[in-house]
Structure 1
Amino acid sequence: MSNDQAIKYSLTLDPSISKSATRDHPQPAASLPEAKKTNITPRGSNGDENASIYFIGTATTILEWEGIRILTDPNFLHAGDHVHLGPGVTATRQTNPAIDLHELPRIDAVLLSHYHADHFDQEVEASLRRDLPIISTPHAKECLVDKKGDDKFTDVYDIDFFQNMMLDIKTPGGGEKAPAIKVTGMPGKHVPDGPLSVANDLVGAVPPTNGWMVELGYKVSDDSSFQSGYRIYISGDTLYVNELEEIPKRYAGKNIDLMLIHLGGTTIPSPKMPLLMVTMDAEQGIKLMQLINPDVTIPIHYDDYDAFLSPLEDFKKAVSSAGWDDKVVYLDRADMYKFAVKQ
């Protein structure tokens, strides 16, 4: 694939249309609750932050910019709730989300790395309004549309590795530049290469997963070209695999401002029988930081389920040993990170 393989989808987000994310609560909250703590880059601020990421828990965040909100990997179960992760594999949630599902403000789109219950839980699947735009994998689209019958989601977009689509943002007036978001699928693998991967391809026990490159920027009116003002790489639930090494090649000379990295060292079939690791642990996380070389890294997906066997403290120690404390921001649930998108 080329470095810029756009697909046929076209999506325009209109922040003036106030719709609830769920079917049963027609009036969304006016805004996110006040953050418990607001963070900026460890290297200092010019006071020009115009965008934010709010951490809800697990891999669930809300990206807010230019009046729109994108929800990633919605999981709103509570401590003690269970998720099904594959044949004979379950996990129990250990924490509560920063907010409940019905407390969400207006959400304009969902970015779903893969169709797994700890990223798209059973309550979310039952409750989200069916016309909420969802960007995900071809496998997830099959599950959310083709296999749902009359209760299917009606606005699902599937993106494969290195395919991209544009999300235009409707704003009043106009001008030489119009805000837009470019979403590109990034490689990801839940299962390491080898016989297990071949077996999983046959039985489909662990679903395929995407990472994402989310670029916030502007379209120039005279030629419709896109100018990226901020790049966010979201690793998704992947191990460190060879396919990831294609990312810095394709983005050579293009700065990656922020990385949201899924950690935890998730193991299956259970914490008492950790036969297979399916998400990065601290060691792999450090290796990915070295590969991608983002300005700032924020770890997520690290302690919410009992299947996570690589605690955040391991990653913190590895970061300090590498001398990278000034490159990492740690968010607790209900914390926010603010940053500046360049025009």
Structure 2
Amino acid sequence: MHLTITPSSRVALLRPQAQAGKTPNNLPIKDVHTHPRSSSAGREDASVYFIGNATTVLEWGGFRILTDPNFLHAGDHVHLGPGVTSQRRTNPAVDLDELPPMDCILLSHYHEDHFDQLVEESLNRDFPIITTPHAKGCLTSSSKPEPFRAVHALDFFESILLDAPTNIETETATPVIRVTGMPGKHVPPGTLSALNDLLSAVPPTNGWLLELGWADGSANAQDDENTSSELRTGYRIYISGDTLFVDELREIPKWLNGKHVDLMLVHLGGTTIPGASAPLVMVTMDAKQGIQLIHLIQPDVTIPIHFDDYDVFLSPLSDFQDKIKQEGLKERVVYLNRGDQYRFTVRRNAD
């Protein structure tokens, strides 16, 4: 499956009435971070920008991808399930209408702290969104006054190719990003999971594996099977999504089959339902589970996100930082404040 993004097909992120003024060309960067163990500073050609919660912007090779868009401000509330609401504690690094042009959205699941009502009302209905089958059903439902029209669903280990959005290319290859849905589970296994399946209180969720690399000629000219095998990957990013450390995650290293993960964005926070004051059930990884995921995936660098923006988070970032020190992993973790950017290099001699 392909999603081709070219200068002529690039769609505006927002509806005209939601765009306050002229669209900026760049993000407002507060601080820049690079690989903690590399001396190649200044030669990076790609980046991840942290807006807040699970909202980031990935840039490389002419692509600009927005993850889990949530742009509410401190004091705003979101609905997370029957009888469950949460208040935002922080402001995003940039507002929705201040974003530069984007190419697509990666939406891990249909929850208001990842896709708030302001975002849903403001987005152009033709803007490309890659998400779960469940979220696609919600976004394209005929029951909505204006359904979204460019939603692409990926189940676990299904992939889509993003073809180069600009004319950036070498003599022999073109930048391509392959996005693959990764397993995730937002509810603990057992009785609670069976009950949630019945009530549909907490939506299904995906993680993502992004392979940044090069395709010989035009990826769109190949069939899916050939294109998949001929993509020469120069950098891999794993985004955990809102998952617990469950057995399904152990399928990821098996699927990778020895392939290396360069960067992991891990959703932490130890999100509790109905809230931190009454923590009946945890639905995202806490610090301990985040460490377990590092040991499972073995990424070169880990960046924690989704850890303090809402009042349902029970596991603060400091817990994760303490465990990272105890495990001797300080040189494998980069911490971003909202508005910070991590820059990295996509290898040309792809593996």
TM-score between both structures, scaled by the size of structure 1: 0.94
**SS of 1:151's equivalent?**
coil
Q: Is the 8 A contact 1:20 1:28 kept in 2?
A: no
Partner of 2:337: 332
Bigger mean CA deviation after superposition, 222-231 or 162-171: 222-231
SS in 2 for 1:199: helix
**1:152 alignment counterpart:** 147
Q: Deviations over 1:275-329 (max 9, x none)?
A: 0000000000000000000000000000000000100000000000000000000
- Indicate if the aligned counterparts of 1:15 and 1:68 stay in contact, CA closer than 8 A: no
Structure 1 residue 265 corresponds to structure 2 residue 270: yes
What SS class does the counterpart of residue 219 from structure 1 fall into? Answer: strand
Partner of 1:11: 3
Deviates most, 201-210 or 19-28? 19-28
Q: In the aligned structure 1, how far is the partner of 2:128 from the partner of 2:263?
A: 24
Q: 1:173 and 1:236, CA in 2 relative to 1: closer, same or farther beyond 3 A?
A: closer
Q: Which moved more, 1:276-285 or 1:38-47?
A: 38-47
Q: By how many angstroms is 1:270 displaced? A: 1.8
Residue number in structure 2 paired with 1:5: none
Q: Which residue of 1 aligns with 2:243?
A: 238
Cα contact 2:270–2:283 (8 A) shared by 1:
yes
Counterparts of 1:113-128 in structure 2, within 5 Å, are 113-128=108-123
Write the distance in 1 (CA, Å) between the matches of 2:38 and 2:275. 42
Aligned-residue offset at 1:170 = 3.9
Q: CA deviation at 1:252?
A: 2.4
Question: 5+ unaligned residues in a row in structure 1: which ranges?
Answer: 1-8
Quote the residue 2:209 is aligned against: 213
Task: Name the counterpart of 1:6.
Answer: none
**3-state SS of paired residue (2:163):** strand
- Aligned residue in 2 for 1:3: none
Partner of 2:52: 57
- C-alpha distance in 2, partners of 1:273/1:172? 53
Contact 2:45-2:344 within 8 A present in 1 as well: yes
2:221 is aligned to: none
Shift of 1:14: 2.0
Instruction: Report the residue type matching 2:237 in the other structure.
Output: I
Number of residue pairs matched by the alignment: 335
Match of 1:139, SS state, is helix
Of all paired residues, the percent bearing the same amino acid is 59
Equivalent residues in 2 for 1:1-343 (5 A)?
9-15=1-7, 19-23=11-15, 24-25=18-19, 29-46=23-40, 47-172=42-167, 175-221=171-217, 224=227, 225-343=230-348
CA distance in 1, matches of 2:249, 2:75: 34
Decide whether aligned partners of structure 1 residues 28 and 215 sit closer, same or farther in structure 2, where only a CA change above 3 A counts. farther
Q: Which amino acid aligns with 1:78?
A: H
| Whole-Å separation in 2 of the counterparts to 1:22 and 1:210 | 24
Counterpart CA distance in 2 for 1:215 and 1:148 is: 35
- The runs of 4+ residues in structure 1 deviating greater than 4 Å are 15-19
Structure 2 spans left out of the alignment, 5+ residues = 219-225
Alpha-carbon distance between aligned partners in 1 of 2:155 and 2:280, rounded to the nearest angstrom: 29
Out of 164-173 and 277-286, give the one that drifted further. Answer: 164-173
Alignment TM-score, normalising by the size of structure 2: 0.92
Deviation, 1:189, is 0.4
Measure, in 2, the Cα distance between the counterparts of 1:310 and 1:30: 36
Distance in 2 of aligned mates of 1:325 and 1:173: 36
| Deviation per residue, 1:160-219 (Å, 9 max, x gap) | 001111111143375310111000000000101100000100110000000000111110
Give the distance between the partners of 1:297 and 1:170, measured in 2 at CA. 27
Q: What secondary structure does 2:140 align onto?
A: helix
Give me the CA root mean square deviation: 1.6
